[in-house]
Structure 1
């Protein structure tokens, strides 16, 4: 009888998810006694009645690695420890259904779970492992905020999309003597903004790790304009960036809009426009880096299952594939350290962080 692995996506989608699914299936195909099953829409698949699962064969995953998103679909609202359950009266109440999940895994003959997700997802992985589930994690997040691993797949593609947006905005800012503000993802970590600002040549980079002062931002912007009002400037801001105490507390909306409103409030000499990149960073085909990284991590995750090294996450550290316990991963968060070489590099080419 073949051993069965259940693949579960959770959290937001990101480029490379299909590549990692394909890698797991193709690596398992090298063995004769493994079967790979996919859970539809995160944990919904294994918790539904009847189950929503699909057998993942080599034919089924053929050619999916360049595709964005995930063929299994995913979500960030189906935590089995806080799962929406329809009550008899039609209302919905969040409940702990982890015991039902574990029961279904046993009844339907699953020997292990490979869980693809970010920091919050792997908190679930650890809890399930502590309850006896044979589980292995794979790091996935465009924000690159998972500790221990060098990169999580999806990040480099998101940074490339953001960089291309900066490139395009610079040309129109130059043409109209404008200040253009690009807001990118990064609620708690500013990696996308930092990479895009350096690669794209922005003048100001605002990230969650460095609270910014509007006076410093205005000073940098002013330096980009002549006495005749000719010039242009570009700001890249992570969605989680915030003013220093006393700045911007009244203005509602996105951080890009708050900054634009502040500049208009002080009658800044140039026209100011803002762009929120949003989910464009999540979608589309993964670049080669993420396809390769996802493939490496998928192969490694299968091999961790085969070696019964459960309660671990496949990682890429110092250009080597390895693994680390889930407990060590989720207790850390990969924020941009102020001493990081990219902060030094950015400041070295004149990028202002508003500090």
Structure 2
């Protein structure tokens, strides 16, 4: 057995997604072989704050969890560490909270912290790192919008769920000559909507990166109807910008919640074209986050877990593990959270969809 090298903390922060448990299991199994001891903090950063909530993690504790959805350590995108309110927000954590977290980690001899999260969670982790806590980040978001990595785990599974939903609504759309809207996640970027829409044969794809006027959508639907195509399937990212506006849920002061965009689009279409189209909406919602990770996400998550331990072995700090081609590398955490990866007109799926006559805006 290897000599003990140090105690490493692990936590999952922000929204859940498929593959979290695979990261934890890979890090613990690989790191234990190298001589590290592991502590798992429950409910993200809240487990680091008083009262602390943690458990020692061994091979036995993580056996058989890699194929399970969610996080067996639990997670939260609320709490005293807060959550990123929107793209570009500073998400500044109060100094007394950061100091409490630093003190608590030192009190139980944690030598390094693996934080599994998206841009908001890693922004918070960076602030903790700047106060002396050694931090390694693991990129997690179903939106696949972190620019510093080729792909985030959780995205592939969420994409598959969205494609399955599209495959199912096509038949009812054509059977009833209806316009069916399928709303998927994607607050600031439209990767799920775009890739699912192309794969699932959508007739229109509405993403946050390309604001559109409702007049153009109505014109598109009328042209289809004139061509004898009475049905249409439209994918809508929850952050789509309609007539210059996003749709928010009222009464959520602690975080931005995007909600209601599809209902708003349907209302506007009905105003411009009364009784011309029979419309229905399906919101895929949190089904995209939950359930068993597919093979792609399991393998990527495991590679990230191993990569985090390799970064610790090399003595690195304030870095995020990243997929670059066929390699797991590390990038500065500050760079990783500095910008989002947005859909552009040069994106392969965008240009392909446009050439196939799909309304992409």
1:323 is paired with a residue of what secondary structure?
strand
The one of 300, 312, 316 aligned to 1:305: 312
Q: Which residue of 2 aligns with 1:73?
A: 74
Distance in 1 separating the partners of 2:36 and 2:103: 21
Would you say 1:276 and 2:274 are equivalent positions?
no
**Which stretches of structure 1, 4 residues or longer, exceed 6 Å deviation after superposition?**
246-249
Which deviates further from its counterpart, 60-69 or 239-248? Answer: 239-248
User: How many residues are treated as equivalent by the alignment?
Assistant: 338
Kindly report which structure 2 residues correspond to 1:1-355, keeping only aligned pairs within 5 A, or say none: 3-31=6-34, 33-49=35-51, 51-80=52-81, 96-225=96-225, 231-245=230-244, 254-265=260-271, 266-354=273-361
| Structure 2 CA distance for partners of 1:248 and 1:39, relative to 1, 3 Å | closer
Q: CA deviation at 1:187?
A: 0.7
Q: Which moved more, 1:159-168 or 1:71-80?
A: 71-80
Q: Any gaps of 5 or more consecutive residues in structure 1? A: 83-93
- Say what the alpha-carbon RMSD is for the aligned residues: 2.1
Normalising by the residue count of structure 2, what TM-score does the alignment of the two structures yield?
0.89
1:95 deviation in Å?
7.3
2:253 is aligned to: none
Shift of 1:15: 0.6
Deviation of 1:21 after TM superposition, in Å, equals 0.5
Contact 1:80/1:101 (8 A) holds in 2: no
Partner Cα separation in structure 1 for residue 338 and residue 136 of structure 2? 17
TM-score, with structure 1 as normaliser: 0.90
Whole-Å separation in 2 of the counterparts to 1:103 and 1:163: 46
Gaps of 5+ in 2: 84-93, 249-257
Deviation track 1:9-64 (CA, whole Å, cap 9, x = no partner) reads: 11100111011011101111222x21111000011222132x31111111111111
Q: 1:231-289, CA deviations, whole angstroms, 9 ceiling, x for partnerless residues?
A: 3101001011012349999xx96111011112222225231001111111111111111
